[in-house]
């Protein structure tokens, strides 16, 4: 099973790297395409918005497709869009190609999360989804800096072709290794979005949006936040980002185990409390290199562990709607990414980069308040069902698995 999960994680890594790598090569992109850096930055927004807006739409449009076909199609679209981004010589076509790549990503990551959950037994579901999400978190701080380094040696187009190559490898791996996975019942978009009327689902998605708006508002200007610790040295910043990326990946994996063992409620609340305190203290902990390392490790573990627990909660709340809910959760993250640049820019302009951490923590306090409301009316019976719910089994992998309860 883990070979298949690793292939899915590679796809998440490629789509995540494609989303964030442009930030590290903006000056070169703007020079090559003959546009301003702010216009070049819209290449990030184009990808993120396409991903955010199209994830639930594609989950509905491809509901009757075999899961393997959805992944193969999404990967083909992603590879084509990313390769076109690297090869096209003019700004507007590249902007469109970025949106096409975002469309592919909107099909890949949510479907991968649902497939991972279907491949695993109920007691291993959190760990399975964590492996896939580890690819996404690793992309943020490992894939993006690595792509930036490649661009420094060659050029940004080489970096984008490398990302497209990762997508192509994933496509081959899915074609070779992924078994048939049960297709969810075909539903129209309105029916598939029906679980959002569940107050817990809506509040869980609101928690994701608020939390990651705060976190990415800081990440978007991380060079400014840690300028004192790095002394403006790009290599030192790259090393810090690498530490953060490793911590984020470990946080993903640990959160999956913890959610399976203790339930997602404790993991969500614990992660929010820890990362809120960490960001609130950044104004002081970002001043020296040792304290910066500690702050980034805590941020990586708790901040990305939260995402696994959030997806675990959504799947447990409405397992039959897992693909669309994972898609909506991904959309919430990418809407937060799209908004974070504006939020962060306004904070830097009005109060200075030193206040990014504390103000980002305010968003996390709001997320904590929302999740507390979400859990308030969560009965013990509902909590028990979260550990019992099961997705349709993959016969070749889980022939002996049985639902833990005949009643749902």
Q: Which of 19, 160, 21 is nearest to 88 (CA)?
A: 160
Q: How far apart are CA 223 and CA 357, in angstroms?
A: 13
Q: How far apart are CA 274 and CA 266, in angstroms?
A: 12
User: Model-level pTM?
Assistant: 0.69
Residue 68 backbone zone (phi > 0: left; psi -120 to 50: alpha; other: beta): alpha
Nearest to 345 by CA among 331, 335, 359, 332: 359
Give the pLDDT score at 299.
94
Helix (H, G, I), strand (E, B) or coil at 257: helix
46 within some domain: yes
With respect to residue 296, please indicate whether it lies within any of the assigned structural domains.
Answer: yes
Please list the pLDDT of the chain residue by residue as tens digits (408 residues): 678 888 888 998 999 899 878 766 767 888 899 987 667 777 887 898 888 888 778 877 887 888 889 999 999 999 999 999 999 999 999 999 999 999 999 889 878 877 887 777 766 766 777 777 777 767 876 787 788 778 778 888 999 999 999 999 999 999 998 887 766 665 555 666 666 777 888 898 999 999 999 998 888 777 788 889 988 776 787 788 778 878 887 887 788 788 888 888 889 999 999 999 999 999 999 999 999 999 999 999 999 889 888 888 887 877 766 666 776 787 788 888 778 777 887 887 788 888 999 999 999 999 999 998 988 865 444 444 444 444 444 443 333 333 334 343
47: helix, strand or coil: helix
Residue 252: inside a domain: yes
Domain that holds residue 95: 2-392
Which tens digits make up the pLDDT trace of 262-305? 888 889 999 999 999 999 999 999 999 999 999 999 999 999 88
Asked, for residue 405, whether it belongs to a domain, the answer is: no
**What are 175's two structure tokens?**
């074609």
For 102-112, what is each residue's pLDDT tens digit?
999 988 987 88
Asked, for residue 399, whether it belongs to a domain, the answer is no
Our count of domains for the chain comes to 1
Residue 263, sorted as left (phi over 0), alpha (psi -120 to 50) or beta, turns out to be left
What CATH number is attached to the domain comprising 182? 1.20.1250.20
- Residue 398, in any domain of the structure: no
Does residue 198 lie in a domain region? yes
Work out whether the CA dihedral 117, 72, 86, 53 comes out positive or negative. negative
In a domain, 406, yes or no: no
Length of the chain as a residue count? 408
């Amino acid at each position: 099973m883990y070979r298949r999960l690793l292939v899915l994680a590679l796809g998440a890594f490629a789509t995540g790297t494609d989303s964030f790598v442009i930030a590290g090569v903006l000056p070169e992109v703007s020079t090559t395409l003959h546009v301003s850096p702010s216009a070049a930055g819209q290449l990030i927004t184009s990808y993120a918005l396409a991903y955010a807006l199209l994830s639930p739409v594609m989950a509905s449009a491809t509901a009757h497709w075999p899961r393997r076909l959805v992944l193969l199609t999404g990967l083909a679209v992603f590879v084509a869009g990313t390769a076109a981004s690297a090869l096209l010589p003019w700004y507007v076509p590249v902007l469109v190609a970025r949106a096409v790549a975002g469309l592919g990503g909107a099909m890949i990551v949510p479907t991968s999360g649902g497939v991972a959950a279907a491949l695993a037994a109920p007691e291993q579901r959190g760990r399975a989804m964590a492996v896939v999400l580890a690819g996404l978190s690793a992309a943020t701080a490992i894939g993006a800096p690595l792509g930036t380094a490649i661009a420094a040696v060659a050029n940004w187009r080489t970096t984008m072709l490398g990302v497209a190559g990762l997508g192509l490898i994933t496509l081959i791996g899915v074609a070779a290794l992924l078994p048939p996975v049960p297709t969810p019942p075909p539903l129209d978009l309105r029916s598939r979005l029906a679980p959002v009327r569940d107050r817990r689902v809506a509040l869980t998605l609101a928690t994701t949006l608020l939390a990651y708006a705060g976190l990415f508002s800081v990440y978007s200007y991380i060079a400014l936040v840690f300028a004192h610790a790095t002394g403006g040295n790009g290599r030192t910043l790259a090393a810090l980002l690498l530490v953060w990326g490793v911590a984020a990946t470990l946080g993903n994996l640990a959160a999956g185990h913890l959610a399976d063992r203790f339930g997602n409620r404790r993991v969500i609340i614990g992660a929010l409390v820890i990362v809120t305190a960490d960001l609130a203290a950044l104004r002081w902990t970002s001043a020296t290199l040792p304290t910066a390392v500690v702050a980034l490790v805590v941020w990586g573990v708790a901040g990305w562990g939260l995402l696994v627990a959030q997806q675990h909660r959504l799947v447990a709340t409405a397992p039959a709607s897992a693909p669309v809910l994972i898609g909506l959760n991904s959309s919430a993250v990418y809407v937060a990414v799209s908004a974070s640049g504006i939020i962060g820019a306004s904070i830097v302009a009005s109060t200075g980069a030193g206040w990014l951490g504390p103000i980002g923590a305010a968003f996390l306090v709001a997320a904590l308040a929302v999740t507390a409301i979400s859990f308030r009316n969560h009965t013990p019976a509902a909590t028990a069902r979260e550990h019992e719910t099961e997705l349709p089994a993959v016969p070749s992998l889980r022939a002996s698995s049985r639902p833990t309860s005949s009643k749902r």
